[in-house]
Amino acid sequence: MNAKVTPTPARPLPSLQGYSGEFYGWCGKQELRFQRCGACETFRHPPRPLCPNCQSSNAQWVPVSGKGKVHTWTTVRQALHPGLAADVPYAGVIVELDEGMRIASWVTDIAPEKLQAGLRVQVWFDAISDGFALPKFRVL
Amino acid sequence: MRDKTCIVGTGSTPYTRGTDKPALVLALEASLSAVRDAGIRPQDIDAVILPAGVASGGTAGDFCANFGIRDLHYTASLQEMGGAECVAAVETAALALVGGVASHVLIPMCSLMFSGRRAREPKDASSGFQAADTIRDYYSPYGVQAPAQHYSWMARRHMLLYGTTERQLGAVALAMRRHAQLNPEALMFNVPMTMDDYLASRWISEPYRLLDCCLETDGAAALVMTTSQRARDLKQKPVFVSGVGTGHPYPSLDIPNRTDILEIGLDRAAPRAYAMAGMKPADIDFAEIYDCFTGQTIMQIESAGFCKKGEGGTFVSDGNIELGGTLPVNTHGGLLSHAHNTGMNHIVEAVTQLRGDGGARQVRDAEIGVVTGWGGHAHGSMAIFRN
């Protein structure tokens, strides 16, 4: 008889609808792109309908270098979401991209206790589902 | 609005870990005790402000029907500001009183932090570009969805920039716990803590340990506010609202993309409150700071002007925040060691102190006290009360 198997809870995922689908859809094509205002050329993140600088609704998804540096982080040692129980400890890192925007992510090739502010990192893409990927980082 | 309105009644239920009572029942119990404390009847209430919207047990209409309020002139539900909403509700009540649309305002607040939905659980997201969506779409995929986690981004940044230490975070937790030993109503009464206990507590999300995090409890409290003129005829010594303000970080829907992620709503709320009161930080005798986490307490002590930015760690470890110090903070034990009623317990404690009813934890000659609120992605509020 087979032992009863408890299914592993799923990791939390973005909605992949609307703007979130656009952002992670570009990542699925191995491209890190951000909304940039078509009028005043200011980047913005998270994506939203109007430019917070000039209120133009004209925006394009513009590719960026994918390079940046560690701004701050938290090392999660008790999973507060069951889908992440197998991942602890992990560091939720805020990466500041060279273009100025900051995103939450993981730096996957370094132990959390080795992280330092200003550490240079480069994006890579971790496929999550058909056509979508999460941007993650490696030490540059 | 300076000194034109006051708190004339407070009421609280016991705070527990676990309850069989629905939020509305607890809110009614606290409200009944608050109107009795004020020496008025439920039917004298003509305005109800609900912090945290329906968290207090239903709509204002539901509340009035169950409480026996016959003629409601004004109602408002505050949303989105989370722990900043109780102080914000005092501002809304003061506006309604000064504007003449209400004469006796009730502010009930019930939090089922233990038995209801936990703060760590994801909220329903909405349009795709609101604060809850930011968490779902851009933080949660990386395992950062709870306040203990995204607020610790700020605490880590504070440590990186200013050299704030883990023992300084611990000093906040210890001071709150010491104060709770003087408050028999505190959940942590008779549960003392040492720095070794603090350092030995398990990691939740570094730099936060278990003992950096507030309690999760069930319970309700309520305030009755009226005009200063009307208060002359009531039985309690009034506690005046000298100044009150709210403020928001920009953009409020996302923490990482603020120019300075240590910029918080209180940076804007505090100057507004001081300006309204015509006071400065040196005038304040004690402060009830929204201590959801130790690092957030240090940040708010700085933003409320009690020390410079970056000096909060030293300020707390030098003993200033203890009873007997230059600025006793959270004389009841705070969210860390008294109970978590989304900060309503802080306002009740400020009133207790300004009435001189603090007993063993009374701040001597207390005349002016500050209460701050913090919620959501660092929305802020601050009230300055005097007796």
- What ipTM, to 2 d.p.? 0.94
Chain A interface includes B208 (CB < 8 A): yes
Q: Say yes or no to pLDDT of A76 above 50.
A: yes
Which tens digit of pLDDT belongs to each residue from B230-240? Answer: 999 999 999 99
Residues whose CB is less than 8 angstroms from the CB of residue B339 and which lie 6 or more positions away in sequence, other chains included? B15, B185, B186, B187, B215, B217, B219, B333, B345
Across the interface, whether the CB atoms of B206 and A84 are under 8 A apart is answered no
- Closest CA relative to residue B361, chosen from B191, B109, B183: B183
Shortest distance between the Cα of B63 and any Cα of chain A, in A, equals 34
Which tens digit of pLDDT belongs to each residue from B52-105? Answer: 765 666 788 888 999 999 999 999 988 878 899 999 999 999 999 999 999 999
Which tens digit of pLDDT belongs to each residue from B156-213? Answer: 999 999 999 999 999 999 999 999 999 999 999 999 999 999 999 999 999 999 999 9
In chain A, the residue whose alpha carbon lies closest to the alpha carbon of B251 is A52
State the count of interchain CB pairs (< 8 A) between A and B: 131
Across the interface, whether the CB atoms of B142 and A81 are under 8 A apart is answered no
Burial of B183: CB neighbours in 10 Å, binned 0-12, 13-18, 19+: buried
Contact of B222 with B30, CB cutoff 8 Å: yes
Chain B interface includes A118 (CB < 8 A): no
> Once rounded to an integer, what is the mean pLDDT over residues A29-47?
97
Shortest distance between the Cα of A32 and any Cα of chain B, in A, equals 14
- C-alpha neighbours within 13 Å on the C-beta side of residue B183: 29
C-alpha–C-alpha distance, residues B47 and B64, integer Å: 9
C-alpha–C-alpha distance, residues A133 and A14, integer Å: 10
Q: Strand, helix or coil at B312?
A: helix
Percent of residues, chain B, with pLDDT higher than 90:
87
Chain A interface includes B348 (CB < 8 A): no
Closest Cβ–Cβ partner in B143, B148, B156 for A87? B143
Confidence of residue B133 (pLDDT cuts 50, 70, 90): confident
Compute φ and ψ for B368, nearest 5 degrees: -135, 130
Determine the residue among B142, B202, B210 to mutate to test chain A binding: the one whose Cβ has the most chain A Cβ atoms within 10 Å. B142
pLDDT of residue B214: 97
C-alpha–C-alpha distance, residues B248 and B375, integer Å: 10
Helix axes B60-67, B23-38, angle to 10 degrees: 60
Across the interface, whether the CB atoms of B128 and A15 are under 8 A apart is answered yes
Residues whose CB is less than 8 angstroms from the CB of residue A3 and which lie 6 or more positions away in sequence, other chains included? none
Burial readout B264-294 (b: 16 or more C-beta within 10 A, e: otherwise): bbbbbbbbbbbebbebeeeebbbbbbbbbbb
C-alpha–C-alpha distance, residues B33 and B110, integer Å: 14
β-strand B74-77 against B47-50: which pairing, if any?
parallel
pLDDT of residue B44: 97
> Once rounded to an integer, what is the mean pLDDT over residues A123-135?
95
B210 CB neighbour count, 10 Å cutoff: 14
B347 CB neighbour count, 10 Å cutoff: 27
Chain B interface includes A104 (CB < 8 A): yes
Chain B interface includes A126 (CB < 8 A): no
Q: Say yes or no to pLDDT of A3 above 60.
A: no
C-alpha–C-alpha distance, residues B262 and B299, integer Å: 8
Contact of B107 with B49, CB cutoff 8 Å: yes
Token pair belonging to A50 = 């109007």
Counting every residue written for chain A, the total comes to 140
Contacts of B249 in chain A (CB under 8 A): none
Chain B interface includes A60 (CB < 8 A): no
Chain A interface includes B254 (CB < 8 A): yes
Residues whose CB is less than 8 angstroms from the CB of residue B323 and which lie 6 or more positions away in sequence, other chains included? B178, B179, B182, B331, B361, B363
Q: What is the pTM of this model?
A: 0.96
Closest Cβ–Cβ partner in B138, B144, B256 for A74? B144
Q: Strand, helix or coil at B43?
A: helix
Burial readout B82-102 (b: 16 or more C-beta within 10 A, e: otherwise): bbbbbbbbbbbbbbbbeeeeb
Across the interface, whether the CB atoms of A46 and B140 are under 8 A apart is answered no
Closest Cβ–Cβ partner in B139, B148, B152 for A104? B139
Phi/psi region, residue A55 (left: phi>0; alpha: psi -120 to 50; beta: rest), is: left
Contacts of B141 in chain A (CB under 8 A): 11-14, 128, 134
Residues whose CB is less than 8 angstroms from the CB of residue B196 and which lie 6 or more positions away in sequence, other chains included? none
Compute φ and ψ for B99, nearest 5 degrees: -75, -10
H-run or E-run covering B352: helix B344-355
Chain B interface includes A101 (CB < 8 A): yes
Counting every residue written for chain B, the total comes to 387
HEC letters along B93-113: HHHHHHCCCCCEEEEEEEEEC
